[in-house]
Structure 1
Amino acid sequence: MAAIETTELSRRFGEVTALSGLSLSVDEGALFGLLGPNGSGKTTTIELLTGQRRPTGGSATVVGHDPVAEPMAVKRAIGILPEREDPPSFLTPREYLTFVGEVRSLDDVAGRIGTWADRLEFSGVLDALATGLSEGERQRVMLAGAFLHDPALVFIDEPLVNLDPIMQEQVKSVLADYCGRGNTLFLSTHYVDVAAELCTHVGIVEDGELVAECDPREMSEDELLSYFIAEVGGDAAEVRA
């Protein structure tokens, strides 16, 4: 069964076409990566699928709901981590995550916070103001917020941004474990090595169009890199993390 289906999904901003006729299907339990250079339409796709923007054409279903007709149903069912999203500067991680839990009417919010703080290794800063956290610590707090309610589907824009190499490995393990339990992840990235290592399926976008799809498990990272550059062009140095 598909967790996400889109048919000719499009979005224009005035005379600019940010997304053009996107048709794709993401199976339940997949770790799907939308791979493309900056400005190719990846963030717009996530915004449309999560009900943050309305399409100018086409349609989509996300966990069985239409993001246009049922935006709140979609938002209740999913987790979202936009690129470079930070917790409010005037709150501590504990306060922010407690707020997330209360908004979502979760049980055992304190226990959930403790579990994710341990898993993502930010227990030591749970009661520090967000203004005093490093970029990596803020990223981990936001990751915890996206997963706090155990959603069946999570969208993450550039999952490893601001994380040091050790924490990147930890987060990769968390994401793989999450999908291993039957959940679905939709990642966007412009880094080929991230897509090659993490994803079970990859869609490549360029100038708002889906130009190719592939299974990265069937090719080496260098083969995926060559395939990506053949589809969209560019410099290899710009698409490696």
Structure 2
Amino acid sequence: MTPIIQTTNLKKTYGDVTAVNSITLSVEKGALFGLLGPNGSGKTTMIKMLTGQIRQTSGSALVLGREVAAEPIWVRQQVGILPEQETPPSFLTALEYLDLVGSIRNLPDITSRADWWFDFLDFADKKNVLCKDLSRGTRQKLMLAQAFIHQPELAFIDEPLINFDPVMQRVVKDFFVEYVKTGNTLFISTHILSIAEEICSGFAILHKGNLLKTGSPQELSEEGISLDDYFLRLVGRNKDA
């Protein structure tokens, strides 16, 4: 089976700084894949290259069978994207923003789709509030909704739980698990290792732009090693390593 994501020697440099260093990686369809690493390890740069937001310096990236650098707009039309820090337009209400997303994506029944998300993430009382007046957690809910409102077969999610309370974190994690059960694929970037250990089927660890390890939480569990301990050993912060 052809991987839904495939990179070969993918590299991104900014002047003399190497943000991502020759990464070769594949993700199969139906995976809930975690890209793990400390802040500044290259995770967000990877997602931006895989979604055509920035162009790689060298190497290649295939997403849904297409070369991202050659067809960035097509890729962004197909996938869902939840950026780490991007916020919705301040001059629109939450409902107007989802209406705009639906219009851009030519979605039928955008009102019913939006209402489903308002109810599911429990912020229907905020749908007519300007985005600039929403709390960080509510803006995160809105950005999550826009990433999935077209029911993409592949979504890239950067730090998905960062602004959510424990109850909403559980709701979102359960949603992710159910979403991939229907054959969809999620590519999640996070520095919170417990997310990957709890819900991911596979992971890759980045550190200073380098790929240190790929594997699965199940493999580590069978070896009697926690993902947290394994990660700390790899990045050189475990005093016993």
Q: Same fold (TM over 0.5)?
A: yes
Cα deviation for residue 144 of structure 1 reads: 0.2
Corresponding residue of 1:224: 227
Cα deviation for residue 41 of structure 1 reads: 0.7
Q: 2-side partners of 1:233 and 1:40: how far apart?
A: 14
Corresponding residue of 1:100: 101
Q: 1-side partners of 2:209 and 2:16: how far apart?
A: 13
| TM-score normalised by structure 1 residue count | 0.94
Which letter does structure 1 place at the counterpart of 2:36? L
Corresponding residue of 1:38: 39
Asked if the contact 1:34/1:186 (under 8 Å) is kept, the reply is yes
Cα deviation for residue 80 of structure 1 reads: 0.4
Question: For 1:181-220, what per-residue CA distance to the aligned partner results, in whole angstroms no more than 9, with x for missing partners?
Answer: 1100001111111111121101001111111012113335
Deviates more, 1:163-172 or 1:221-230: 221-230
Asked if the contact 1:85/1:139 (under 8 Å) is kept, the reply is no
Cα deviation for residue 84 of structure 1 reads: 2.0
Question: For 1:4-25, what per-residue CA distance to the aligned partner results, in whole angstroms no more than 9, with x for missing partners?
Answer: 0000000000000001110010
Unpaired segments ≥5 residues, structure 1 = 237-241
Q: 1-side partners of 2:46 and 2:8: how far apart?
A: 12
Corresponding residue of 1:176: 177
Unpaired segments ≥5 residues, structure 2 = none
The Cα RMSD (Å) is 1.5
Secondary structure of 1:162's aligned partner: coil
Asked if the contact 1:19/1:209 (under 8 Å) is kept, the reply is yes
Secondary structure of 2:88's aligned partner: coil
TM-aligned CA distance change 1:170 to 1:235, over 3 Å? farther
Asked if the contact 2:229/2:238 (under 8 Å) is kept, the reply is no
Q: 2-side partners of 1:49 and 1:91: how far apart?
A: 28
Cα deviation for residue 107 of structure 1 reads: 0.6
* Structure 1 stretches of at least 4 aligned residues deviating more than 3 Å after TM superposition: 218-222
Secondary structure of 2:162's aligned partner: coil
Corresponding residue of 2:14: 13
